[in-house]
């Protein structure tokens, strides 16, 4: 692949990581999702900024990434999930999402906008990740591999060609965004 040299150049990747982070943080801050009130507004279903940002990112990202994949330019990166890991972990994350009022990306953006509680939240996330790492061997033996999902991707699950699913998801997202606007949310 043409980009192999760049992808395996560690120093270049650190510069790129910093650059991508700056752009990401800039965008997050400009949308307002780095504010506690906007995140809680989403979870209380009164402000749909978070969902609008996420769905717009998914539709644009999905079309580009699958087009580049078809052209042989990029590799996809996903893992199979399970009830024990994805669902239980996801619900614990959700509880933390509502209590902290930021997520691991937006919390960093909130720190950059001057939120001191977000800085404390970042320390909390590090502690939580450390607790998980300590528990990991036991959780991995007992619960994380319970109820492994039957497929890695949605196209695989429903047995439809990826490009068709991309088109279907794109139509669905446009529909949801249209309905949100229609409902005045």
Partner 1 sequence: MIEWFTMATWSPYIVGAGIGVLIWFTFLLSDRPLGCSTAYAKTAGMVETGISHEKAESMPYYQKFTPAVDWQWILVIGIIIGAFISAYLSGTFSVLVVPPLFAETFGGDAVFRGVIALFGGILMGIGARWAGGCTSGHGISGALQLSLASWVAACCFFIGGILVAGMIYGFSFI
Shortest separation between residue 184's beta carbon and partner 1, angstroms: 13
Shortest separation between residue 143's beta carbon and partner 1, angstroms: 9
Rule CB under 8 A: is residue 31 a binding residue for partner 1?
yes
Under rule CB under 8 A, which residues in 51-70 are in contact with partner 1?
52-62, 64-65, 68
CA torsion through residues 47, 50, 53, 58, sign: negative
Shortest separation between residue 181's beta carbon and partner 1, angstroms: 10
**Of positions 5, 70, 72, 110, contacts partner 1 by CB under 8 A:** 110
Bin 32: left if φ > 0, else alpha if -120 < ψ < 50, else beta.
left
Residue given tokens 């068709």 in the structure block: 164
Shortest separation between residue 179's beta carbon and partner 1, angstroms: 14
Rule CB under 8 A: is residue 147 a binding residue for partner 1?
no
Rule CB under 8 A: is residue 178 a binding residue for partner 1?
no
Rule CB under 8 A: is residue 71 a binding residue for partner 1?
no
């Amino acid at each position: 692949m043409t980009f192999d040299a760049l992808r395996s150049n560690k120093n270049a990747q650190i510069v790129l990581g910093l650059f991508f982070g700056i752009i990401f943080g800039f965008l997050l801050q400009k949308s307002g999702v780095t504010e506690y009130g906007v995140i809680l507004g989403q979870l209380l279903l009164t402000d749909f900024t978070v969902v609008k940002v996420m769905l717009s990112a998914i539709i644009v990202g999905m079309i580009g990434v699958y087009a580049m994949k078809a052209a042989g330019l990029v590799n996809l990166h996903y893992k199979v999930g399970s009830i024990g890991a994805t669902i239980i972990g996801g619900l614990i994350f959700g509880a933390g999402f509502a209590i902290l009022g930021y997520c691991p990306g937006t919390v960093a953006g909130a720190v950059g906008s001057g939120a001191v509680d977000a800085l404390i939240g970042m320390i909390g996330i590090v502690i939580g990740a450390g607790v998980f790492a300590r528990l990991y061997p036991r959780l991995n033996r007992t619960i994380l591999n319970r109820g492994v999902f039957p497929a890695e991707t949605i196209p695989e699950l429903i047995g439809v060609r990826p490009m068709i699913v991309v088109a279907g998801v794109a139509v669905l997202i446009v529909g949801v965004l249209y309905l949100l606007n229609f409902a005045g949310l």
